[in-house]
Amino acid sequence: MLSVSSVVCFASACLSDTNVSMKITLLYLIAVIAIAPTLAAQANPAAQQDSASFDPDGTAHITRVVPMPTTISLEAQKWLDSLDQQKVGPTETLAERRTHTDAWRKMDSAEARKLYPVNVEETSMAGVRTDIITPLATPESKRVLINLHGGGFNSDSGSLIEGVPIANLAKIKVVSVYYRLAPENPFPAAVDDVVAVYKELLKTYLPHSIGIFGTSAGAILTCEVAVRLKQLGLPLPAALGIFSGLADFSRPGDSWQLFTLNGFPGELQPTYPNHPHDDQYVGKTDRKDPVLSPFFADLHGMPPSLLVTSTRDILLSGTTIFHRALLSSGDDAQLVVFEALPHAFWYHFQLPETKEALELMAKFFDEKLAR
């Protein structure tokens, strides 16, 4: 079989004295041979080869063939396959991202309320916009949860999507906080908003009857708020839910370099150290600031925490590293890692794994918050 290099050499020698049609034929031949291995691999996945090579500094260049896992539900397998088929579009502007996530949030919020009926009241607390989510059946009037939505600190991708199921399942009121967003309001604006809401709730609820939780950016913010409350000398809440987060903005973690927001398909996030992430949220703050990056804070005496992630989560490393930091500080911290699913999979209600994750989250808060 001819190699690409041999055809290129032959073409180079001949192109100068051939007619136009021969040139086109030769160029076409080069193209066909160049893509032939790819086409063959697509037609026969077994023909693909795993490989790994390493630069002197340890940077890895890897190729892996990963079959569809049979360790997850059929619904999850179907969902992963649908992600693989999605086309990657052009990078969104911030305005487009906010429009897109707002439309997606409204659609999924409606689905959440259909599956997990609750009452929702739009209001404000301590000058911060909030939703009060109340379960329909026998709410625990002496207990309350604060929910901090995801969305990369610059949009809202999950306020009601996160708060509605937990309020329904745990039978606990949830206050969903619409904290200020970057880049207009970088750190610590969001932290300050949540602290203000927490102080307001302390006027009505005992701290051991309050919990805080969030997904992605909201999970990060949950950690930051807990450290800030400790710095201020305020009584800490009874429990934290850290659902796919990180606590160190100074280092990426291995999973950041391996996975996209959808696991395998899509574009990888910018890599360190030349392209640190969340610059607009971090602003001019030192990335090792103990509130911005709680990994560097005194974590002794933190509230009991439940951390949830998955093996294709872009924040798998960040979640597990913080779990170890909490354990090293002697804190009560539980970690649950789901198989093969990407970032914040519990937003997708068709998955049995989502039902399992939401139920264990609700059970955790029901057990940890005093009645």
CATH value at residue 224? 3.40.50.1820
Note the maximum CA span of the chain: 89
Copy the structure tokens of residue 239: 């429990």
Judge whether 337 lies within some domain.
yes
Task: Give me 33's structure tokens.
Answer: 């041979």
For 153, half-sphere exposure in the C-beta direction (CA atoms, 13 angstrom radius) is: 25
In a shared domain, residues 239 and 279 = yes
132/163 Cα distance (integer angstroms):
9
Query: Does one domain contain both 229 and 362?
Result: yes
Q: What would the two tokens of residue 307 be?
A: 């951390």
What does the pLDDT read at residue 37?
Answer: 46
Q: Which residues of 336-354 are buried (b: 16+ CB within 10 A; e: fewer)?
A: bebebbbbbbbbbbebebb
**Quick one: 164 and 42 in the same domain?**
no
Question: So what's the pLDDT on residue 19?
Answer: 53
CA distance 34 to 26: 12
Per-residue pLDDT at 97: 77
H or E, element range at 18: none
**pLDDT in the model for residue 49:** 82
What integer pLDDT is reported at residue 139 of this predicted model?
Answer: 63
What pLDDT is stored for residue 271 in this prediction?
66
| pLDDT number for residue 157 | 77
- pLDDT at residue 23, rounded to an integer: 44
Instruction: For residue 293, tell me if it sits in a domain.
Output: yes
For residue 56, the enclosing domain spans: 4-63
Q: Which residue has the tokens 């051991």?
A: 208
Q: Cβ-count burial of 210 within 10 angstroms (0-12 exposed, 13-18 middle, 19+ buried)?
A: buried
Together in a domain, 189 and 294: yes
State whether 352 and 294 are in the same domain.
yes
Query: Rounded to 10 degrees, what is the CA torsion of 115, 210, 290, 292?
Result: 30
Specify whether 251 is located in the same domain as 333.
Answer: yes
pLDDT of residue 269: 74
- 236 and 349 part of one domain: yes
Same domain, 33 and 120: no
Residue 338 CA to residue 343 CA, distance in Å, equals 11
State the pairing for strand pair 128-135/172-177: antiparallel
The closest alpha carbon to 76, from 347, 367, 345, belongs to 345
At 334, give phi and psi (nearest 5°).
-110, 140
Residue 77 within a domain: no
pLDDT at 275: 62
* Structure token pair of residue 357: 């994750």
Query: Does any domain span residue 249?
Result: yes
Same-domain pairing of 191 and 45: no
Does residue 130 sit in helix, strand or coil?
A: strand
The domain tally of the chain equals: 2
Instruction: Give me the tens of pLDDT residue by residue for the chain, a chain 371 residues long.
Output: 434 444 334 344 444 444 544 444 444 434 444 444 444 445 555 556 899 999 998 888 899 899 999 999 999 999 999 998 887 666 788 888 788 777 766 777 889 999 999 999 999 999 999 999 999 987 667 999 999 999 999 998 778 999 999 999 999 999 999 999 999 999 999 999 999 999 999 999 999 999 999 999 999 999 999 999 999 999 999 999 999 999 999 988 999 999 999 999 988 876 666 666 789 999 999 999 999 999 999 999 999 999 999 999 999 999 999 999 999 999 999 999 999 999 999 999 999 999 999 999 999 999 999 98
Given a contact cutoff of 8 angstroms between Cβ atoms, the answer to whether 169 and 362 are in contact is yes
Tokens read off for 44: 């026969």
Q: What share of the chain is helix, strand, coil (3-state, %, to 5)?
A: 45, 20, 35
| One domain for residues 344 and 204 | yes
Q: Note the pLDDT of residue 91.
A: 75
Task: Note whether residue 333 is domain-resident.
Answer: yes
Residues 39, 123: one domain?
A: no
